Amino acid sequence: MQNAVTQFEIYKDRGSRCLPLQRVYRQLFNPELFLLSYGKIYRNDGAMTKGSTAETADGMSMERIQTIIDALKSERYVWKPTRRVQIPKKSGGTRPLGLPTWSDKLLQDVIRSLLEAYYEPQFRDSSHGFRPRRGCHTALLRVKQWKGTTWFIEGDISKCFDKIDHSVLSGILGEKIQDGRFLRLIANMLRAGYLEDWKFNRTLSGTPQGGVISPLLSNIYLDQLDQFVEDILIPQYTRGKTRHRNPEYRHFEYRARVARKSGNHLEAREAKRKMRTLPSCNPNDPNFRRLTYVRYADDFLLGFIGPKCEAEEIKAKVGQFLAERLRLDLSQAKTLITHGRSEKARFLGYEIMVSHCDDKLSHHRNQRSVNGKIALLVPADVQRAKMQRFMKGGKIVHRPELLHDDDLSIIRLYQSQWRGLVNYYIMAHNVSARLNKVHRVMEVSLCKTLASKHKLTLTRVFRRYRGEQMTLYGPLKTIQAIKYREGKKPLIAVFGGLPLRRQEMQPYSSDPLIEVQWNRRSELARRLEANQCELCGSTDQIEVHHLRKLSDLTRDGRKPKSNWETVMIARRRKTLVVCLACHQKIDSGHYDGPAIRGTLESRVR
């Protein structure tokens, strides 16, 4: 078997040259691929979540990997039905989420790694959802680079992931992958069904949401839309190098030049003032058209320079292509045509509009500097929704569910929510105006929670927990708590200290060394391959004991810790490689602590 990283490089090269893949199925017999996938997905919170069976990451071993490989070799591997649960949506409805079993999840990630190495070089730059080193910010950065957009077409595909047609998806995969066994394996996965309320249901369409491979399959499916827009629509609705100059603007430009040469500076300034009230080019030039496009998962945005009737044509053509080629429906209620200057489009939680301000001039050239540029804004309803989480009846309230936590945990929880909000909307032009109010509400709610916990007044809490943190833009007031420890550094929790200054995000890096770094074997995989119990030193039937969270061993109020807990806490790992005998004793709660080989310090690395 080839080295896994070498195989990924081969697939990446064939994908970049659009060459077909053959004999893919035999690559699934490589244990190294399973170890790489195991090293990535065992960290996920869902690794210890049960699917339709009781199997989880706990008890993972080389024997379990070999069992999967043996079943694949004889084509006897059977996908288990996923366990479906309903997740509430912000709009009030629910979204189905599938929970695969652990073996299915592991095999899905192996398949995903092979397909991603091949298809990633072929995906278009306009696609940003569920791709390495890309995300919402890179999609918004692409939108921000558009100039002079007249109309925004906000695209939304109705129930995209639930309606992906299996036959169409198989046909798309079959165009590039010439391996019947591999295609049958994927087709069987799509038809595995699901259990809801422990009742079996067939899956006639869609990809299993919650599965590791589902985002990649949806990108492969919707890449057909990217190709249609970029190869057909954009050339069709792009013409002209530049707009024609505005005659009225040129008239005042001529008057300003003549007045300046004749020494009449007053008339020259008046002509310049008139020029700044007019567009320099004809905004309705019939010989100039531009169409731009970006997609994140099933949401896409089109920017068009031209008349509204042609924008409606573009919307109709996209809907027709989705219906005829991909058998998907364009949501008419959510697919809107929005004027760029007078209205605001919504994309990925931001409001998007075209800036226009004749009075904002650049310092070095004394020209209008923002007209025609894209402005990203924090929506007002986002501000209200974030504030309402900490208010009741129009007043800021404390959070009673946190009163039993310590001060550091309470402050860290508030800070994590605040940091996530700031980091997501840091590209917005009005980030300070919108989020300053949210910060104040969260700060008062935090102090009220601490006041209720310690039976103090709000004023005393502000004085006791007041702090200051230095930033690039100067000091900022914070709420902080410090826990001193003997012989160790103190623990500090801080709320605030994040400057609300708009930041320009940098484009993603295409450095190939980053991909190699992600494909390196994890520390856990190397420990498993060492084939030695980390408690008693046995080499018989080695497997991995998993915990959902390491904090389950360190929280207050627990009984004295046994040897295996001491080892996990010292290593700061939620995994422990043990033999079957030690694992059974740990799970049953009868582990009596055999002597640990060597000193604890020599085993902790």
Q: Furthest-apart CA pair in the chain: how many Å? A: 101
Euclidean distance between CA atoms 353 and 340, whole angstroms: 5
Domain segments of the chain as ranges: 4-122+166-204, 226-244+281-377, 380-495, 531-588
Which of 120-129, 532-541, 567-576 is modeled with the greatest confidence? 120-129
Structure token pair of residue 65: 């990997």
pLDDT tens-digit readout, 150-162: 999 999 898 888 8
pLDDT for the residue numbered 602 = 38
Percent of the chain past pLDDT 90, that is, above it, reads 54
Distances in Å between the alpha carbon of 432 and those of 140, 354, 377, 415, 521? 19, 20, 11, 17, 43
DSSP three-state, residue 119: helix
Residue 200 has pLDDT above 90, yes or no: no
Structure token pair of residue 543: 């497997």
> DSSP labels for 413-439?
HHHHHHHHHHHHSTT-TTHHHHHHHHH
More confident residue, 272 or 145: 145
More confident residue, 454 or 277: 454
Residue 481 has pLDDT above 90, yes or no: yes
> Closest Cα partner for 5 from 515, 528, 511, 522?
515
More confident residue, 507 or 505: 505
> Closest Cα partner for 325 from 175, 169, 162, 208?
169
Query: Mean pLDDT, to the nearest integer, of 470-480?
Result: 91
pLDDT for the residue numbered 534 = 86
Nearest-10 crossing angle of helices 431-454, 380-388 = 0
pTM recorded for the entire structure = 0.87
Residue 142 has pLDDT above 90, yes or no: yes
> Closest Cα partner for 408 from 416, 420, 396, 400?
416
Euclidean distance between CA atoms 326 and 318, whole angstroms: 11
pLDDT for the residue numbered 309 = 93
For the chain, the residue count is: 605
pLDDT tens-digit readout, 348-378: 999 999 988 777 777 676 777 778 889 999 9
pLDDT for the residue numbered 438 = 96
Euclidean distance between CA atoms 19 and 176, whole angstroms: 7
Distances in Å between the alpha carbon of 429 and those of 15, 361, 505? 39, 17, 13
DSSP three-state, residue 395: strand
pLDDT for the residue numbered 517 = 41
Strand order in the sheet with 374-377: 345-347, 350-354, 374-377
Sign of CA dihedral 87, 91, 93, 97: negative
pLDDT tens-digit readout, 591-603: 776 544 443 333 3
Residue 11 has pLDDT above 80, yes or no: yes
Percent of the chain past pLDDT 70, that is, above it, reads 92
Beta-strand pair 290-296/350-354: unpaired
pLDDT tens-digit readout, 290-343: 999 999 999 999 999 999 999 999 999 999 999 999 999 998 888 899 998 889
Whether residue 510 contacts residue 504, with contact meaning beta carbons closer than 8 Å, is answered with no
> Closest Cα partner for 227 from 297, 126, 117?
126
Residue 280 has pLDDT above 70, yes or no: yes
Q: Which helix (H) or strand (E) holds 529?
A: helix 523-529
pLDDT for the residue numbered 506 = 61
pLDDT for the residue numbered 521 = 64
Residue 515 has pLDDT above 50, yes or no: no
Angle at alpha carbon of residue 250, lines to 247 and 255, rounded to 5°: 130
Mean pLDDT, rounded, of the chain:
87
The rounded Cα 7 to chain-centroid distance in angstroms is 27
> Closest Cα partner for 114 from 24, 190, 44?
24
Region at 277 (left for phi over 0; alpha for psi -120 to 50; beta for the rest) = alpha
Whether residue 207 contacts residue 93, with contact meaning beta carbons closer than 8 Å, is answered with no
Residue 556 has pLDDT above 50, yes or no: yes
pLDDT for the residue numbered 260 = 86
Which residues lie across from 578 on neighbouring strands? 543
